[in-house]
Amino acid sequence: MRVQQFQGGASNPTFLLTTETADGPWRYVLRKKPPGQLLASAHQVDREHRIMKALEGRVPVPHMRALCEDPEVIGTAFYVMDFLPGRIFRDATLPGLTPADRAAVYDELNATLAKLHQVDFEAVGLGDYGRPGNYFERQVARWTRQYRDAETETVPEMEALIEKLPARIPADQSVSIAHGDYRLENVMFHPTEPKLIAVLDWELSTIGHPLADLGYNGFMWRSHSPSWGMLDGVDFATSGIPTEADYVAAYCRRTGRHEIEDWPFYVAFGVFRLASISQGVYRRILAGIAASERPAENGAPALAKQALEILEGG
């Protein structure tokens, strides 16, 4: 067996396993917890395995082969799934694709999210995968705590968000599976066709609110970060890429929604969460816990400023 580690930002180390057989090479992917002392709520590869196994045949996911929770085998818990050849688009503007293919890629991204949110999580054995109801109340409180634990300076926009977000939580208490990190970079497409073949990176998944996923996904139209995904400079009339309004309208049609009350809240919440995460990463870099090749730079203030602008300006 040949073992090669994938390079990238995945918090759970991921490896390509290649075995030679009489029928040719067979390839699998192994994901494991990182070594060392870990937070109890982080790096739960058993949850990733569980949700993808439950969703197979309902949402595009790789086929799960095995989960091993015995740390004696390779040092940490791990799971093995089938390797899928395909494309992951790092640039949200999709250079090199035709307008028709760009339109199809975004339509697939939209349709798959709608399909995920319509899965009956109780029927697929995920009734205890998270706490249904009051999702945003709990999430705003959680990310506020995480921000406070990592705070290094006073960020006025973050203070304003912490005050304003709880009062803006919409009355909609929809419940569904929530992926938690649904964006173009976290799905895989067919090697040559604009067909979505796998949703990846389920580490933040839970039973939550569907519009949290849509708002987070929708930040791509407001983002100015190429590393996260942005659409700055796109000509929506000719590129094939839909506008934010058209993308949201397509999701609403697919899920039977007539409208979304206070859409800016859902986008702003997603950016607020990113700001809290960014603050935590910055604090760990300062403490020498997180390795980084770049100088320590806190991205939280800029994200908080943008989140507040979205919340107040729509």
Q: Write out the two tokens for 244.
A: 């934010």
pLDDT band for position 38 (cuts 50, 70, 90): very low
pTM for this model (two decimals): 0.92
CATH number of 2-82: 3.30.200.20
Alpha carbon distance 251, 166 (integer Å): 25
Instruction: Indicate if the pLDDT at residue 42 is higher than 60.
Output: no
Q: For position 287, what pLDDT does the model report?
A: 79
Instruction: Indicate if the pLDDT at residue 69 is higher than 60.
Output: yes
What is the DSSP pairing of strand 78-82 with strand 24-32?
A: antiparallel
Which residues of the chain are in CATH 3.30.200.20 domains? 2-82
- For 191, other C-beta atoms within 10 Å of its C-beta total 11
pLDDT tens digits for range 187-205 = 999 999 999 999 999 989 9
Instruction: Indicate if the pLDDT at residue 43 is higher than 70.
Output: no
Q: For position 64, what pLDDT does the model report?
A: 98
Instruction: Indicate if the pLDDT at residue 100 is higher than 90.
Output: yes
What is the DSSP pairing of strand 24-32 with strand 14-21?
A: antiparallel
Q: For position 297, what pLDDT does the model report?
A: 83
CA distances from 292 to 32, 38, 146, 172 (A): 21, 19, 21, 40
pLDDT band for position 12 (cuts 50, 70, 90): confident
Highest average pLDDT, of 7-21, 33-47, 157-171, comes from: 157-171
Average pLDDT over residues 9-36: 86
Percentage of residues of the chain with pLDDT beyond 70: 93
Domain 99-313 indexed as CATH 3.90.1200.10: yes
Which residues of the chain are in CATH 3.90.1200.10 domains? 99-313
Percentage of residues of the chain with pLDDT beyond 90: 81
pLDDT tens digits for range 109-146 = 999 999 999 999 999 999 999 998 899 999 999 999 99
Can you give the three-state secondary structure of the chain, one letter per residue?
A: CEEEECCCCCCCCEEEEEEEECCEEEEEEEEECCCCCCCCCCCCHHHHHHHHHHHCCCCCCCCEEEEECCCCCCCCCEEEEECCCCECCCCCCCCCCCHHHHHHHHHHHHHHHHHHHCCCCCCCCCCCCCCCCCHHHHHHHHHHHHHHHHCCCCCHHHHHHHHHHHHHCCCCCCCEEECCCCCHHHEEECCCCCCEEEECCCCCCEEECHHHHHHHHHHHHCCCCCCCCCCCCCCCCCCCCCCHHHHHHHHHHHHCCCCCCCHHHHHHHHHHHHHHHHHHHHHHHHCCCCCCCCCCCCCHHHHHHHHHHHHHHC
